[in-house]
């Protein structure tokens, strides 16, 4: 069979794998919904959470489609479709493909059409290098969660603080990341201000939502505050970039 990066059989295999990725998510969703019902959790609240999680996901998911399109030029459509539907990212797949091709004495982006051997080599490197999380979660998840339960039994207040500290630790790393090009501002380069201003717009949107909720007592605003701050923040990047970029 003659190989092509867009051969229909590749789409068929990838389609089958993606079907199981979807099936796993649906399986856990159904089980969690059933458990929520058993626990007597408010159905309306659960429905609102499903709606806001869906809205919140749209913009980042569209950005993933942009990455699929960008990678499709060199890798075909089927492989980026698979890799970005499972654990992977634009930067990771590019690094893995670059390293695999470099090992064969080639340069990523400069191969007119990959042959089957090159394609398979790239897929092996991508797959093996990022497999850790998938098998390590089954090894560690129960042990770590049991450790947290024991911590709660010993000192419930400290567990609350511990978990807040984990969230804050992660958020602080991303706040720092937003300022990673900020030092250029001291030299008169304004591009480093773009992410800072976008973050500020998003933060202000969230504050406005919070104030509106308090003033109007409209609880529904809380359901859409996070998706709204994300989308308004992203939209603000367009004029801010044309101004400072």
Partner 1 sequence: MMKNNNSYIEKVYSWGNKWNIFMMILLLAFPFLVSIIFNTSPDWNGLFKGLVATAPMYWAVGVVEVITYIPMLGAGGSYLSFVTGNISNLKLPCALGALEQAGVSADSEEGEVISTIAIAVSSIVTTVIIIIGVLLIIPLQPILQSPILQPAFNQILPALFGGLGVVFISKNWKISIAPILLMLILFIFTGLGSGEVGIMVPVGVVFTIAISRIMYKKGWL
Note whether 225 binds partner 1 by CB under 8 A: yes
Out of 190, 207, 214, 218, point to the residue binding partner 1 (CB under 8 A).
Answer: 207
Residues in CB range of 209: below 8 A, 6 or more apart: 221, 222, 224, 225, 228, 229
Q: Which of residues 47-86 bind partner 1 (CB under 8 A)?
A: 48-50, 52-54, 56-66, 68-70, 72, 77, 81-82, 84-86
CB 241 within 8 A of CB 215: no
Query: Shortest Cβ distance from residue 181 to partner 1 (Å)?
Result: 8
Q: How many residues bind partner 1 (CB under 8 A)?
A: 157
- Contacts of 137-142 spanning 24+ positions with Cβ under 8 A: none
Query: Shortest Cβ distance from residue 228 to partner 1 (Å)?
Result: 8
Q: Which of residues 137-176 bind partner 1 (CB under 8 A)?
A: 137-138, 140-142, 144-145, 148, 152, 157-176
Q: What is d(CA 94, CA 88) in angstroms, rounded to the nearest whole number?
A: 10
Note whether 226 binds partner 1 by CB under 8 A: yes
Nearest to 232 by CA among 56, 46, 43, 63: 56
Note whether 182 binds partner 1 by CB under 8 A: yes
Query: Shortest Cβ distance from residue 109 to partner 1 (Å)?
Result: 16
Query: Shortest Cβ distance from residue 221 to partner 1 (Å)?
Result: 11
Q: Which of residues 183-202 bind partner 1 (CB under 8 A)?
A: 183, 194-196, 198-202
Site track 9-38 with partner 1 (rule: CB under 8 A), x = hit: xx--xx--xx-xxx-xxxxxx-xxx-xx-x
Specify the residue, 137 or 216, whose C-beta has the smaller distance to partner 1: 137
Nearest to 113 by CA among 79, 67, 74, 82: 74
Site track 89-128 with partner 1 (rule: CB under 8 A), x = hit: x-xx--xx--xxxxxxx---------xxxxxxxxxxx-xx
Q: What are phi and psi of 180, to 5 degrees?
A: -65, -25
Nearest to 91 by CA among 105, 80, 76, 102: 80
Nearest to 236 by CA among 205, 191, 210, 214: 205
* DSSP letters spanning 90-124: HHHHHHHHHHHHHHTT--TT--SS--HHHHHHHHH
Note whether 132 binds partner 1 by CB under 8 A: yes
Query: Shortest Cβ distance from residue 74 to partner 1 (Å)?
Result: 15
């Amino acid at each position: 069979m003659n190989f092509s990066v867009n051969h229909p059989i590749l789409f068929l295999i990838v389609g089958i794998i993606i079907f199981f990725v979807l099936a796993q998510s649906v399986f856990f969703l159904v089980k969690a919904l059933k458990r929520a019902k058993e626990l007597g959790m408010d159905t309306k609240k659960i429905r609102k959470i499903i709606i806001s999680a869906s809205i919140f996901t749209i913009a980042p998911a569209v950005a993933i489609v942009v990455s699929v399109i960008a990678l499709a030029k060199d890798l075909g459509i089927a492989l980026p479709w698979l890799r970005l539907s499972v654990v992977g990212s634009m930067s990771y797949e590019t690094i893995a493909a670059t390293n695999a091709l470099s090992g064969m004495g080639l340069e990523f982006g400069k191969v007119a059409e990959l042959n089957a051997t090159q394609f398979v080599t790239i897929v092996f490197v991508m797959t093996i290098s990022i497999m850790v999380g998938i098998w390590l979660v089954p090894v560690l998840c129960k042990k770590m969660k049991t450790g947290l339960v024991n911590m709660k039994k010993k000192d419930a207040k400290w567990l609350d603080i511990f978990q807040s500290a984990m969230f804050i630790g992660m958020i602080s790393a991303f706040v720092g990341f937003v300022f990673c090009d900020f030092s250029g501002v001291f030299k008169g380069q304004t591009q480093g201000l773009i992410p800072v201003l976008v973050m500020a717009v998003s933060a202000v949107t969230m504050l406005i939502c919070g104030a509106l909720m308090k003033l109007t007592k409209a609880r529904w605003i809380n359901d859409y505050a996070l998706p709204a701050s994300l989308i308004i923040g992203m939209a603000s990047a367009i004029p801010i970039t044309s101004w400072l970029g």
